[in-house]
A and B are shown apart, each in its own frame.
Chain A
Amino acid sequence: EAQVTQNPRYLITVTGKKLTVTCSQNMNHEYMSWYRQDPGLGLRQIYYSMNVEVTDKGDVPEGYKVSRKEKRNFPLILESPSPNQTSLYFCASKNGGDYNEQFFGPGTRLTVL
């Protein structure tokens, strides 16, 4: 089944404790992206990657890191999480081209205490 998977789905952590949210897609998509979704703010892009070893900042990159060592994986790293990073996170992937839809993972709900 074609899909984007994220892990964990739910995470409660404390300020400053490094964490990684994994994202994997099995559709051989070139483009991958991370978003956060917050009430009243909609979806905001954190980072994106147009291909292996190519990553770039989105609209709200502060406090996050990503890597793209393989085409299928695009982990999101929070080196020192803070409470303002409490949010619902989505990974997405698509083929290049403006007419192609994005496929979204099921989301990771992160709470930073």
Chain B
Amino acid sequence: GNSVTQMEGPVTLSEEAFLTINCTYTATGYPSLFWYVQYPGEGLQLLLKATKADDKGSNKGFEATYRKETTSFHLEKGSVQVSDSAVYFCALSDQGNRDDKIIFGKGTRLHILP
């Protein structure tokens, strides 16, 4: 079945450091891939997405490239800020799913120190 695996946290970095959060997936079809972010006390919100192989999603300085050959969608940011502290979820949606379901990874908590 379909699944998403992302690196366990928490991840703690200093401000302006480079960020990578790894995400790999298993899918039977041709999934769309997403990164969602959850700020403290809030619901999840879409950060970026990619709908086909080699697409790059980007938003707020974050990027992720859909790599079909490695079944990965790693999240990167060149210089993190304290305000990036949040929980990040990798997710996929597979058009082969009858139920139109989005499958989430378990989330990675990110702490940015000033």
Contact = CB atoms under 8 A, between A and B. Distances in A.
A103 B43 CA distance: 9
Interface residues of B, number: 25
Contact of B42 (A48, A103, A107): A107
Interface residues of A, number: 26
Interface string A13-49: 0000000000000000001000000001111010010
Interface in B63-95: 89, 93-95
B101 A45 contact: yes
A92 B104 CA distance: 13
B104 A42 contact: yes
Interface in A77-97: 90, 92, 94, 96-97
B22 interface: no
Contacts of A112: none
Contact of A101 (B31, B46, B101, B104): B46
A98 B97 CA distance: 9
Most chain A beta-carbon contacts within 10 A, residue among B49, B89, B93: B93
Given A90-B43, A106-B42, A107-B43, A101 B34 contact: yes
A41 B100 CA distance: 21
A31 B100 contact: yes
A7 interface: no
A107 B107 CA distance: 16
Contact of A104 (B43, B101, B107): B43
24 contacts: A31-B100, A40-B106, A41-B106, A42-B104, A42-B106, A45-B101, A56-B99, A90-B43, A96-B100, A97-B95, A98-B31, A98-B32, A98-B93, A98-B95, A98-B100, A99-B49, A99-B51, A102-B46, A103-B45, A104-B43, A104-B45, A106-B42, A106-B43, A107-B41
Interface of B: 31-32, 34, 36, 41-46, 49, 51, 89, 93-95, 97, 99-102, 104-107
* Across the A-B interface, the 3 shortest Cβ-Cβ residue pairs: A104-B43, A42-B106, A98-B93
